[in-house]
Structures are given as structure tokens and as C-alpha cells.
Chain A
Amino acid sequence: MASHAIEVKNLYKIFGPRGREFIDQVKAGLGKTELNEKHGHVLGLQNINISMPAGGIMVVMGLSGSGKSTLIRHINRLIDPTAGEVLYDGVDVCKMNENDLREFRRHKTAMVFQKFALLPHRTIIENTIYGLEIQGVPDAESRKRAQGWIERVGLKGFENHYPNQLSGGMQQRVGLARALTNDADILLMDEAYSALDPLIRVDMQTVLLDLQKELKKTVVFITHDLDEALRLGDKIAILRDGKVIQQGTGQEIVLKPADEYITAFVKEVNRGRVINVETIMKPLSGNAEGMPIAIGTVLESAARMMTLANLNVAHVVDTNGKPVGSLDLGTIISAMVTPIGHQLQAA
């Protein structure tokens, strides 16, 4: 199945019984605090425009209350928007009727939840086949497909356990297996790893990245953790108070934070794992010196390779092995340690 992009356009969400009445005022510039104080309505999302890449991982990052969970629920319309569009294959999800929406949820989307949301009275395998069961896929067939995914996420042997018998990390593997068994194009992950221990979280991130390499689904991943966002995201959007304040690749966000809020965020980031060699390489002068390093390698790996090879200089090569730039250890280290880069950019 070829993956498709999701376009979110001019999306607004105002929580409250008369949300629609305030939409024009909000569009005209009524703020979140004012709306709440004067009218008792909560501005959930305002003017969201994100184009989520087909077959890539789109990370939406924000702290609690920023509207990120609200946003992901608009994609499968667990929450109805007050205004705006969510386009998938040119069809506005927000305008689907009940039947079309149900079919869309059954066949096009699958979701993983922060608190796992497994059915406690069903075994792992029964949980995993849930999506197929409600689609009406025959039991034997769905069990066969589910079994494959249970094994892929590393839960072989636990098929007949109940969710409560499993640890949090294992339960979330079930959540992931359940979503993957649906074989939907869109994978929605709502703070899927936030409830897990740091080590298990990294482990699960690896599982997702490995699977994504071959599945190429359109993944929308919600997180409040910038490191997680940078590790997973092909594209990242940062949300604050229901507004997108910056979107772009991880590198773009780390190197050119849009405002002080994001600057404060990225200060703590391990830059060596985010910035790629081609970002800091210098133009080739003369012959390619030192060892070749592939484009897309992060600075930390490059530094490790060069240190191991005991070399101070290297050159960056593109996918065809053609040298495109030069690199030395000093540049790498200064890019990894100093945030001067973005102070200059900001100036």
C-alpha cells in the first residue's frame, strides 16, 4: 500500500458548548486567555497548518496543554473541529458521514494510546485482532496476521496472557501490535511512549524506527520529549497554546529555533545526535582528504568514526560515493558543543 500525506489546513478547535459562535472573533485575534475569561470557552487549537509527509514520521511536540493530543484526535476525528480541514487523499475527514468515517477509521488509520487502552478482559492475541474483528475478517485469518505482529514486537509466548499480567512496556508492544495488525496506512501514536521507563522508551523507539524502515507508513507521533521528537521525526512541529510555533526537520529546529521558547528547549539537546555532517561541512578545496563519511551521518557518529580511525580530517560523500564536502574534527566538536550557532542565526 502506497502511503499518502495528510494535510491539516486552517484547523481551529474551541472547546465549549457554543464554540462555533466565537470562531470569527478568534480568527480576528481573540486570545486564549481572553476567550476563557470572557466567554468560558477554551481555545484548543488555532490556525493549524501542517502537511504531514507521506510515508514519514511526523512528530508533533508540545508540553501538556499545548493541544497536541487534541490535534492527533482530529486526524481520525475522535474530536470534531470547530473550523478547518483535515485532508487525506483529497478527502476532508471532517466532512465524512458516520459510515464513511467508520470505514476510514477501520481501514486507513490505527492508533496507539498513551495509557495503552487495551481491553482488560481479552488476551493479548484477542486484543491484537480487535481491529480486524470489527472489520469482519474471519477469525483464523486475523489470528494468523496478528500472530506475525505479536512476534515482530517481541511478545511471542504471551499470546494468551491478559494485559494486566504484562509490564507497561510489554503492554505498549501489544498496543503497537494491535495498531500494526490493522495494516492501515496512517499510524497515530498519542504519547505512545510517554508512560514508559526511559530505557524501555528508547527500546520502543528503535522498534518503531526498524518497522518504519520497511513499512513506510504515514506516522503521526505525539510527544512532549524533544529528544524523542528529534530521534523519530522526519518532520517536527512544535505546538504551544494551540498554535504551531515552528515546523521543520529536527536539524532546522535545533539550528534555527524560531523563538526563545524553542531556544530554551533545544539548549539541552544532544546536538551531536541531531546535526548531520552535510550541515556543517565546508566546500571541497582540492582533493578529498581523510576518510569518507556518508551524507546523513550525525556528528556524533562521524566523530566516533574519525577518532577510531585516528584521523583529523574527513570528507563527506553522497549516496553515489562522490565527495561533496570536507570536514575536520575541530569543526565537528565546535558544532556539537557550542550553541553559538543559533545565537548567530537568531541575530
Chain B
Amino acid sequence: MAICSYLPDLLCKFPAINDTTIRMARKSVDDGFKALVREYVNVIDALVQPLQWFLNYLEKLFVSSPWIVILAVMVAIVYYGSRDIRITIGTIVSMLLIGLVGLWNDTMVTLAMVTVCTFIAIIVGIPIGILMARSERAQSIINPILDVMQTMPSFVYLIPVVMIFGIGKVPGLIAVVIYAVPPMIRLTNLGIRLVDKEVLEAADAFGSSPWQRLKNVQMPLALPTIMAGINQTIMMSLAMVVVASMVGVGGLGRNVLQAINNQFFTVGFFNGFALVAIAIIFDRTSQAYGKRLQKHSEVIHG
């Protein structure tokens, strides 16, 4: 570069820390982390054991039940959730197609995974969202963490997850939850913050305790927004199960991964469409349910 002949070297070439120092630092961090994990491996295993049981139980239940029972239960849930005959018929048709192309069992594995992930995301996400809504400080601390969780490429945080929990379903589950929980937290927070100040004031004026205010006013009024959060969480867990298959989660995701590795075009698409079908079923049902919850807000009086 011509310009570099006029400039001091320091301003021309970025003064990076030298390679040896970086390598040393990296090695000590990695080793330290590994040592730490090794130290507490029993504690970690004991902590995640309940998740493992829950996941295994649900997976076994889904896979070993006769398909007709599963389909009947699904149709019942979809119908009572959405009260929409078209969504129900769509569910039946897509599930039958999935079965016909031989993906029933894999779909059940994925379904079990997504169910557990969503369940955990709700259990973890709603309290954190409530905390954020109650305290500005909590919000200012948690928000950047959520930003990191959402923008960090999912492959990157698979690394520490695998280092801590090893390969298997539970690490996959944790990775999916990390990916899927931010919208749950954010929308719970948003929903509570959007509750009409006048109504809250009324609740206070009648002497509500903080818990009564949360239970009677904030949560019910935030529910439509929270439902949107649940919907997003389901969608994101479905998207993430493919990535999670890289650390040993079975089901449709693993088929997709194999299809990528082996250039199985048709297999890839079948599995992909199976995921899309499940996603649409979940999405339409939860949205229709959310809408029904807001029936009271339909303005009938002009």
C-alpha cells in the first residue's frame, strides 16, 4: 500500500495481540472450562436427569401409542383449541400424508421434543418476563442477554452446551430452549407493560396485593401477547430441532441432516415438509386459541 509508506506502522497494520498470547489465553479458558465441567459432572447430570426422564417418557408415549390414538388426540386438541373445521381437516390430511411417506415415528420424536421444549420455555420464560416487567433494572440486565441469545449463531452456543452436557437429547433440548425462550420472555414483559395504567390504578385503589394484581389484572390482560410469545416459541423450537440434531437429537431433524450430508433431495424435502406441516398446525391452532381468548374485547356496542 502506497499510503502505508507515509504512516507509522502502528496506524497501518492493526496491532493485534500476537498469536502465541491468544493461543495461550484460548487454551487456558478452554482447559479451565473443561476442568470445571469435569469437576461438577455429577451435579450437572443429576440436575438434568429429570429432563431426560420427562423427555424419554413423552417420546416413548408418542412413539409407542397406536397412530390412530395420537391422531385422535391431536384432532381433539386442534379442534377444541381453534374451533375451526378447516384447521382440523388440514391437520388430519397432513398427518396422514406424513404417515404415508413413512415419517410417522420420526415426527412423533420431534413432536415430543417440541412439546417438552415449549413447556420448559414457558415455565422459564413467564417468570423471567414478569420479573422484567416489574423492575427496570432487571429489564436493563436481561435485555442484552436476550439480544445475545437471539443473535448468536445457534451453532456457536451448541459448543458450550455440548462441553457441559455432552452429546444427546438433553443438550439438544437445552440448546433449543435457549434459542426459543427469548420471544416468550420478551412478549410476557411487553404484554404486562402494555396493560392499561387506568385498570392497574383501579386494581390498586381497591386494595389489591401485588400478587392479586398480577393474577387478576396483569396476566389476564397480557395473555393475548403471551399467547403470541408461546406461538413464536413453538415456531422457533421447530426450526431449531434441525440444528439440534447435530448434537444427537433424533426425529425429523436428523433425517434432514443426513439428507444434507448425502444429497438426498427427496428425503430432505419430505422431512422438511413434515416440519412445515407440524409448524402450521401448531401455529394456526395456537393463534386461533389466542384469538378466542380475546373474544371479550370485540366491540359489540358501537
- A residues sitting closer than 8 Å to B (CB atoms) are 76, 78, 102-107, 109-111, 113, 115-121, 130-131, 133-135, 162-167, 182, 188
Contacts and interface: CB of A to CB of B under 8 A. Distances in A.
Contacts, number: 77
A165 B217 CA distance: 19
A163 B201 CA distance: 17
A97 B191 CA distance: 30
B299 interface: yes
Contact of A102 (B198, B207, B216): B207
Contacts of A164: 296-301
A131 B205 CA distance: 9
B297 A111 contact: no
Contacts of B208: 134
A118 B299 CA distance: 14
Contact of A109 (B205, B298, B300): B205
B298 A117 contact: no
Given A119-B217, A121-B220, A110 B206 contact: yes
A165 B206 contact: no
A105 B198 contact: no
Contact of A105 (B207, B221, B298, B300): B207
A219 to B, nearest CB: 15
B209 A117 contact: no
Interface of B: 196, 198-199, 201-209, 212, 216-217, 220-221, 223, 296-301
A133 to B, nearest CB: 8
Please give me the 8 A-B residue pairs with the lowest Cβ-Cβ distance, nearest first: A106-B207, A105-B207, A117-B202, A111-B205, A162-B296, A117-B198, A165-B300, A131-B206
B215 to A, nearest CB: 10
B201 A113 contact: yes
Q: Which of A78, A102, A133 has the most C-beta atoms of chain B within 10 angstroms of its own C-beta? A: A102
Nearest to B221: A121
A134 B297 contact: no
Contacts of B216: 119, 130, 133-134
16 contacts: A78-B204, A102-B209, A105-B205, A105-B207, A107-B207, A109-B205, A110-B206, A111-B206, A113-B198, A113-B201, A117-B196, A117-B199, A119-B217, A120-B221, A162-B296, A164-B298
A220 to B, nearest CB: 12
A105 B203 CA distance: 10
Contacts of A106: 206-207
A135 B206 CA distance: 9
A103 B209 CA distance: 10
A162 B298 CA distance: 9
A63 to B, nearest CB: 21
A69 to B, nearest CB: 11
A127 to B, nearest CB: 10
A162 B295 CA distance: 10
B205 A115 contact: no
A167 B301 CA distance: 6
A167 B300 CA distance: 10
Given A104-B207, A105-B207, A162-B296, 5 more contacts: A78-B205, A116-B198, A118-B202, A119-B217, A182-B206
Contact of B206 (A105, A115, A166, A167): A105
B119 to A, nearest CB: 25
A65 B301 CA distance: 32
Contacts of A107: 207
B206 A78 contact: no
B301 A130 contact: no
Contacts of A134: 206-209, 212, 216
A166 B296 CA distance: 11
Contacts of B209: 102, 134
A130 B206 contact: yes
A119 B199 contact: yes
Contacts of B206: 105-106, 110-111, 130-131, 134, 182
Contact of A76 (B196, B198, B205, B299): B205
